[in-house]
Amino acid sequence: MKLSLISNLTFQNRLILGIAILLFLTTFSLSYVGNKLAEEFMLKRFKDRMEFLAKYLAANTELGILLDDKEMLKKMASNLLKEKDVIEVKVYNAQNRLLAQAGENKLIDAPNKVSANVTLSATSETLAFGIDTNQNKNIGRVEITYVTSSIKELTNRLKERYILLTLVIAGISIGIFLIFAKGITAPLSRLIEAAQEVASGNLDVKLEEGSLPETQKLAKAFNTMIEALKQSRKDLEETYQKLIQEKSLSEIGHFAVTVAHEVKNPLGIIKGALDVLKKKEIEDDIRKTMIAYVEDEIQRLNNLIKDFLDFSRPKPLKFKQVNLKELLEEIVSRMEIEWAQKGIRLNLVAEEVSSIQADREALSRALINIIRNGCEVSEKGQHVEIHLFKKEHRIIITIADNGPGIPVDKKDKIFEPFFTEKSKGTGLGLTLSKKIIDAHMGFIEVLDNIPKGTKIKIILGS
């Protein structure tokens, strides 16, 4: 989840986030280390000061210990309590007996303590007591108990100021970065917009050069690429036009042979019928039969010419939103009236799928061609199954019949122009259907491993 959130951030936001994290870590690390060093330094100096006070008190309690004057010793100890953070002072003699105490340690945690020995000095007072200063110098001990709360308060204030300083530095840095980042991200945004326009087919885009050397190089490279694409498209179009011309000439030659063959038979039948009709005495039934022959062959010639015109001069497609379920229901409703009379049923199973961009008339013509082929190869009492469903963001239409099927060696040829297994027909119906499906960025294929009949699968984008 966190990775997906980061992946959705823009380049500028990622840089800001990265700099903010870097500033925080850097400032936090420096403040932590600095605070620790400062705390250790102050604690050491504070302890040194307490040790000095202990030595000072030890130097002044020498006489009081010699005279065993507890009042004087307590007074000296009490004077030391005036020092901030000193909470207790004790004076012991050489036998470690407590002589005087000032203050009281009420802390739960173990406090800090320093001590200093009281030693004799070679003065007139010590000589007056007849004590040899070279022996038994240690006559007592003073002990000072203190706390470091003031140090902790000071370090806490330092931490707060470090945090405040971190936020101020981060805010100023991000503000300055935003100003500089705009000069980087703005050209990138323009590059993205230009790339999207190019993807939509507009090659007249030109990217303006930025103020940075890197963005200038990027803009020059992009503009050079667009010029190369325009030239490549031009060369490709010229090559494609040549291929179309060559293919068209080849197909026209093939068509000419097919037309010559297809036209020859209807004309022969029409001529024979007219020869019969020229006779003065013919029966009415024969006359009607001959006229029917002429009408059928004229219709056959008309269909031949229509298919050729549709194949050679396809109409430009007009795309709009089309509901495929409604379209198939309309096609089946229209066709089942015609084929029900011949004993062929049409079964439609259509799921509710999303509408697609399509040319309704052209797509309808393609589907009708395929469904009609299935009906034509089916025998009386059989049915043609039509399914519409969605799978993995793709819309799929399948049309299956129960006819004789297509030989394996001819499955790859059924979409080729002029290929047909029918006694009558141009072999352009499925070719036109495939061209229409291709124009809709779709795909059409004949499925293998069908137990009986033929199953054609059409895949359209959603």
- CATH number of 295's domain: 1.10.287.130
Q: Identify the helix (H) or strand (E) that includes residue 327.
A: helix 324-340
With 90 as the cut, is the pLDDT of residue 398 above it? Answer: yes
**Cβ count within 10 A of residue 152:** 13
With 50 as the cut, is the pLDDT of residue 2 above it? Answer: no
275 and 355 assigned to the same domain: no
366 and 269 assigned to the same domain: no
Confidence of residue 288 (pLDDT cuts 50, 70, 90): confident
Comparing CA positions, the residue from 376, 401, 375, 377 lying closest to residue 387 is 401
CA distance linking residue 453 with residue 378, whole number of Å? 9
Find the mean pLDDT for residues 120-130: 54
Mean pLDDT of the chain: 77
CA distance linking residue 334 with residue 311, whole number of Å? 24
Find the mean pLDDT for residues 386-404: 88
Confidence of residue 295 (pLDDT cuts 50, 70, 90): confident
301 and 341 assigned to the same domain: no
What pLDDT sits at residue 240?
Answer: 61
Highest mean pLDDT of the ranges 307-311, 328-332, 409-413: 328-332
> Which of 259, 286, 309 is a domain's end point?
309
User: How do residues 99-118 score in pLDDT, each as one tens digit?
Assistant: 888 887 665 455 788 988 98
With 60 as the cut, is the pLDDT of residue 416 above it? Answer: yes
| Number of compact structural domains in the chain | 2
Find the mean pLDDT for residues 6-17: 65
Q: Is residue 93 assigned to a domain?
A: no
Find the mean pLDDT for residues 113-129: 68
339 and 304 assigned to the same domain: no
Find the mean pLDDT for residues 45-64: 86
Comparing CA positions, the residue from 168, 176, 137 lying closest to residue 31 is 168
Q: Phi and psi (nearest 5°) for 431? A: -65, -45
User: How do residues 447-457 score in pLDDT, each as one tens digit?
Assistant: 876 778 888 89
CA distance linking residue 416 with residue 428, whole number of Å? 8
> Which of 309, 339, 363 is a domain's end point?
309
Percent of the chain with pLDDT over 90: 4
With 60 as the cut, is the pLDDT of residue 126 above it? Answer: no
Contacts 24+ apart (CB under 8 A), 246-251: 248/312, 251/417
274 and 390 assigned to the same domain: no
What pLDDT sits at residue 387?
Answer: 93
More confident site: 445 or 6: 445
Q: How far is CA 129 from CA 57, 122, 163, in A?
A: 21, 11, 63
> Which of 309, 341, 369 is a domain's end point?
309
333 and 376 assigned to the same domain: yes
What pLDDT sits at residue 326?
Answer: 92
Residue 258: which domain range? 230-309
More confident site: 75 or 8: 75
Find the mean pLDDT for residues 376-402: 87
CA end-to-end distance (rounded Å), the chain: 28
What pLDDT sits at residue 389?
Answer: 92
Q: How far is CA 281 from CA 239, 271, 277, 293, in A?
A: 64, 18, 9, 19
388 and 442 assigned to the same domain: yes
Cross-strand bridge partners of residue 114: 144
CA distance linking residue 62 with residue 66, whole number of Å? 6
With 60 as the cut, is the pLDDT of residue 129 above it? Answer: no
Q: Is residue 449 assigned to a domain?
A: yes
Percent of the chain with pLDDT over 70: 76
Find the mean pLDDT for residues 150-162: 78
What pLDDT sits at residue 216?
Answer: 74
364 and 446 assigned to the same domain: yes
Residue linked to tokens 């959705």: 8
Which of these ranges, 57-66, 177-186, 292-301, 349-358, has the smallest mean pLDDT?
177-186
Q: Is residue 410 assigned to a domain?
A: yes
More confident site: 287 or 322: 322
**Cβ count within 10 A of residue 163:** 13
With 50 as the cut, is the pLDDT of residue 182 above it? Answer: yes
284 and 406 assigned to the same domain: no
245 and 380 assigned to the same domain: no
Find the mean pLDDT for residues 143-163: 81
What pLDDT sits at residue 281?
Answer: 77
Q: Is residue 301 assigned to a domain?
A: yes
What's the CATH code of the domain at 456?
3.30.565.10
CA distance linking residue 72 with residue 292, whole number of Å? 149
With 70 as the cut, is the pLDDT of residue 248 above it? Answer: no
With 90 as the cut, is the pLDDT of residue 204 above it? Answer: no
Find the mean pLDDT for residues 386-396: 88
What pLDDT sits at residue 388?
Answer: 92
Considering all CA atoms of the chain, what is the largest pairwise distance in Å, rounded to the nearest integer? 181
Confidence of residue 36 (pLDDT cuts 50, 70, 90): confident
Q: Phi and psi (nearest 5°) for 226? A: -65, -40
With 70 as the cut, is the pLDDT of residue 302 above it? Answer: yes
Q: Is residue 297 assigned to a domain?
A: yes
More confident site: 5 or 64: 64
Q: Is residue 401 assigned to a domain?
A: yes
More confident site: 189 or 132: 189
Highest mean pLDDT of the ranges 134-138, 252-256, 401-405: 401-405
What pLDDT sits at residue 127?
Answer: 47
What pLDDT sits at residue 106?
Answer: 64
358 and 457 assigned to the same domain: yes
Confidence of residue 124 (pLDDT cuts 50, 70, 90): very low
